Amino acid sequence: MGESIEQRAAGGQGSGVAVSFREALWFWLKLGFISFGGPAGQIAIMHQELVERRRWISERRFLHALNYCMLLPGPEAQQLATYIGWLMHRTAGGVVAGALFVLPSLFVLIGLSWLYIAFGELPLVAGLFYGIKPAVTAIVLHAARRIGSRALKNAWLWAIAGASFVAIFALNAPFPLIVLGAALLGYLGGRLAPEHFGAAPASAAAASHYGPALIDDLTPTPEHARFRWSRLARLALVGALLWCLPMGLLMALYGWSGSLTQMGWFFTKAALLTFGGAYAVLPYVYQGAVVHYGWLTPAQMIDGLALGETTPGPLIMVVAFVGFIGGYGHSAFGAEQAFLGGALAACLVTWFTFLPSFLFILAGGPLVESTHQELTFTAPLTGITAAVVGVILNLAVFFGYHVLWPEGFAGRFEWPSALLAVLAAVGLFRFKRGVIEVLALCALLGLAVHLLRG
């Protein structure tokens, strides 16, 4: 079967390329600063760097890991980085890869959130965000199209995507139920029509085109990635302590009803109960943070998503913006220390949002590694991936409604926002422009519209 991943990473010869921990660390740090474009763009960057250029992992192993990450609640791009880092360099590699994917955007968003609070009412800033909001709607729609073009390969998968859209849009079905139904349909499809639900045999062509990979299709699973009950028990204990200690401290200081305690609890639920990555979790965050707790307004939520789109890191880092705005307004340290309260809240919600992601990868990775040739496992994931496309499309409709009818259907229709959304869509779909370019152009046009109205 050849050398193990660990041997190759340590400098062994063969089809793999030697990758030291230091080399990997610098790559993950670089990725944390250049990972723009939301989950679709970040996964594309990782595919280009890790599968095509560096050949650290084969396409089939990359897609198998991605399908598992899309099954999990939480940000799939960050979980994918954690998975590959763990596979290459044990637990330390996974923690470093996942943490460096998040930390740059956390610090950037804390700074931008403060600027938003301090200067958001200025005509200049308000005009820029007026143009950014319709662009965000087009970006989410574009993400649905990009993921759908890869996932929806036949009529069966299109039907699952359509059913998931109807279920969440018209029936308000909870997303975990949609995921469960899609997984069941995928499992049945894998048994009854395996040619439609199996993994695409693209890795052989990819290998011949790109050359052999460090983690190739048939590379043996390294010793640290083999399942052990003792290891699972240790991870469960460590994970419980890492959650209980900060939550217990918050309860002791502020009580159960304190805003920071409630943020920790709410974002723990968001991390555990929502599936399909950032675009799927945002409606749940909106419902809780805006409607139930009132930590921010609907307009601020869309502005936060715009900031998340324009900063590196996973799009779900919008939770740092939500936490900062909520913590700033309900500062535990008084009005004089509002910035400190906002920064602490942003760090806390980031901790509670991402802690389960690390545990899911480190605990579930060994099981996934034992199934990368099994249709029984891949077929349900294929169904789930199709369902996620429908949910993302629902999110585009959700944002479009709030941008085009900010006062509800009974209020005015924002025709300038509609024109900007169409322009952004043409730039993304027709001319293949980048997310940052589209946001910048729409922001400038929105500023012009805002100033002309004023």
Q: Is residue 190 part of a domain?
A: yes
The partner residues of 308 in beta bridges, in order of sequence, read none
Q: Is the pLDDT of residue 438 over 80?
A: yes
Residue 27 is assigned to a structural domain of this protein = no
Mean pLDDT value across residues 40-53 = 79
In a domain, 157, yes or no: yes
Contact, 279 vs 143, CB < 8 A? yes
pLDDT tier for residue 150 given thresholds of 50, 70 and 90: confident
In a domain, 54, yes or no: no
Q: Please indicate whether residue 231 or residue 330 has the higher confidence score (pLDDT).
A: 231
Do the Cβ atoms of 274 and 281 come closer than 8 Å? yes
For residue 189, being part of any structural domain is answered with yes
On the question of pLDDT at 45 being above 70, the answer is: yes
pLDDT for residue 245: 97
Instruction: Examine the pLDDT at 301 and tell me if it is beyond 70.
Output: yes
Determine, yes or no, domain membership for 223.
Answer: no
Residue with the bigger pLDDT between 356 and 10: it is: 356
Q: Tell me the mean pLDDT in the region 351-360.
A: 94
Question: Which band of pLDDT confidence, cut at 50, 70 and 90, is reported for residue 312?
Answer: confident
Range in 133-137, 367-371, 428-432, 439-443 the model is least confident about: 367-371
pLDDT, residue 375, reads 58
Task: Reduce the DSSP state of residue 73 to 3 states and report it.
Answer: strand
Question: Residue 151 has which token pair?
Answer: 């996932």
pLDDT computed for residue 198 by the predictor = 65
414 domain-assigned: yes
- Of the candidates 221, 240, 220, which has an alpha carbon nearest to the alpha carbon of residue 232? 240
User: Which percentage of the chain shows pLDDT scores above 70?
Assistant: 87
Q: How confident is the model at residue 185 (pLDDT cuts 50, 70, 90)?
A: very high
For CA atoms 440, 446, 449, 454, give the dihedral sign: negative
State yes or no: pLDDT of 37 exceeds 60: no
Q: Is residue 303 part of a domain?
A: yes
Range of the domain at 255: 103-194+230-453
pTM, 2 dp: 0.72
- Looking at 119-239, which runs of residues are DSSP E strands? none
User: 317: which DSSP letter?
Assistant: G
Total tally of structural domains belonging to the chain: 1
